[in-house]
A and B are shown apart, each in its own frame.
Chain A
Amino acid sequence: MRTSLFRHHFDESHRALREEARRFAREEIAPHATAWEEAGEFPRSLHLKAAQAGLLAPSFPEALGGGGGDVLHDVVVAEELLRAGSTGAAVGLGSLSIALPPILSLGTEDQKERFVAPVLRGEKIAALAVTEPGTGSDVAGIRLKARRDGDHYVLDGAKTFITSGVRGDLITVLARTGDDPHAGLTFFVVQRGTPGFEVSRALRKTGWWASDTAELSFSGCRVPLDHRIGPEGSGFVALMQNFERERLMLAVNGHALAEAALDESMAYAKQREAFGRPIGRFQVIRHKIAEMATAVTSAKALTYACAARMAAGKGASPEVFMAKNHAAMVAREVCWQAVQIHGGMGYMRETKVERWARDARLLPIGGGTQEIMNELIARGLGA
């Protein structure tokens, strides 16, 4: 869909980076998107390629190998990568954007050099492990225990639904070091291969097929002291600090899928004929497209407005939670209609709209559910 309505949010550097991301998506992802989604995996080398193209971490500090940009640089790259047809690959590349921020905000220079830099070089894969089999929305209910033992901590417990967890090299784990529900939580980095740390299961999902999602088990897992991120008890606040950004990026995920599904539908409606004419000539289909475009534009407007505030260094709560919920709803509706416009073809796994309709189901769940967002919105409004 073409509109110049949002041009003012972006400058030349955003536009130039978008072109680079578009080329990367076209050359490195699109030709393989279907195969990767069907295989449930994309090559590890894509991390390296994305890093070399400067597209892995646009907003991370330049000194550690990031792009030194703002959140709108992240937005343009995410939009282009998502359009390429493998949501799984795009979100798999993106797991570092939730795994690394606690290390950036609490870690020592040495920890940043050891844990952040290799991920930004595309050599290692990072994952964030917060959710547990027994608790998701209620983060303060985390039970995975970290007990101090000399110059080590011993971790016992389990994590689940962890994006990039199956093949992650570095897992940023939120663990309980004290009894206080919030002030008793601390982040640790656990490296692949640490005795007592295991991937207990690779999980099969509704969508995001090309991204790996893991259940992880920690049993007497000894982690050296210098793998603790920040002082004991600093975990919850560090997690909260990145929540706005995570939710913004999920909102972007929503409008990017919806917009791509709209574009596919418009092209299909021009070319598919029924009753002697392109289906796009039927008013019912034209109006569907008009409504889909309206929904996409409204989602982008809200999300970009939040992103622009955040790029200016300001907070965007609770609006960014509204943006996530709204984009999730728009993605669901638009992808559903896109399948409808494609008819039987829309139910076939070879079409992207079929895939996007499944992928979109995650959006009101992951990164904080729709209900939890509503709770935060209501609280923010003083309701």
Chain B
Amino acid sequence: MKIGVCVKVAPDTDTRIKISGDGAGIEESGIKWIVSPYDSFGIEEAVQTQEAQGGEVILFSAGPKDWQTQLRAGGLAVGAERAVIVDDPALAGTDPLGIARVLAAGIASEGCELVFTGKQAIDDDNVQVPAMVAELLGWPHVSFVTDFSTDGSTFTATRNVGGGTQEVVTGSLPVVITAERGLNTPRYAKLPAIMKAKRKKVDVKSLGDLDLSADDITPAVQLTNFSLPPERPAGRKLEGDVDTMVQELVRLLREEAKVI
């Protein structure tokens, strides 16, 4: 079975994001780039599935070919077999639907039967691409999955639906699964595997290689301006005896924060 994983490379979680001078993006110099952590859960699940069922894990990225550094360290060194990066100038201005079209075309061209990815990327937090990929492939998808198993033709996935409730979904492959924290613990890349990953195959493709053109990924959404969220005001300390503090807290939550 060919198992695909859609992977995005994003700024490290403790990056302090700065807006670029023209306000149209972020300052990219000095940023450390990593495999988006939820995608790492997807990679681990794909590798565990491959170890149990056999087959091959293929990574798919729509982004600059430089991402191969992170794909090797965070994917090929932990058990994925090869990677496909679609790098095309037209990708720069596209939106989640454009990215989904590219990934779906890549997945279809390889004949995958199962696709994992993170529930969202930690940079834009759009939570859109996986569902779009599934729709474009004509597959079902299960999101926010915390437990997954497959016998190679059917699958069982557990997903969090909020409020402490879990839903168990069963179905037949193919399917797109999006990983929530807790699905697994990604393994460490050991040095021999890091060395081996240097020689694994990374195909860099253009839109044309996938029979797509720039017109196919014309964005419906354009990002025009970035600004940082307002600075968080300093905390406030309540004083007095417990009863007074509780009363004051409830009043603040109701009247100022308007959360109860």
Contact = CB atoms under 8 A, between A and B. Distances in A.
Interface of A: 12-13, 15-17, 19-20, 23-24, 52-55, 58, 62, 67-69, 73
Interface of B: 34, 69, 72-73, 77, 188-195, 198
A12 B191 contact: no
Contacts of A68: 191-192, 195
B256 to A, nearest CB: 27
B194 A16 contact: yes
Contacts of A20: 188-190
Given A12-B69, A16-B73, A19-B73, A67 B188 contact: no
B191 A17 contact: yes
B195 A13 contact: yes
Given A12-B72, A12-B73, A16-B73, A67 B198 contact: no
Contacts of A62: 192
Majority DSSP secondary structure for residues of A touching B: helix
Contacts of A52: 188
A47 B245 CA distance: 48
Contacts, number: 45
A53 B193 CA distance: 12
Contacts of B193: 54
Q: Which 6 A-B residue pairs are closest in the complex by CB-CB distance?
A: A54-B190, A67-B191, A16-B73, A53-B188, A16-B194, A69-B191
Nearest to A73: B191
18 contacts: A12-B72, A13-B191, A13-B194, A13-B195, A13-B198, A16-B72, A17-B189, A17-B191, A20-B188, A23-B188, A24-B188, A54-B190, A54-B192, A54-B193, A58-B191, A62-B192, A67-B190, A69-B191
B77 to A, nearest CB: 6
Contacts of B188: 20, 23-24, 52-55
A112 B198 CA distance: 29
A67 B73 contact: no
A246 to B, nearest CB: 21
Contacts of B34: 19
Contacts of A15: 73
A182 to B, nearest CB: 36
Given A12-B198, A13-B198, A54 B191 contact: yes
Contacts of B195: 13, 68-69
Contacts of B73: 12, 15-16, 19
Contacts of B198: 12-13
Contacts of A16: 72-73, 77, 189, 194
Contacts of B189: 16-17, 20, 54
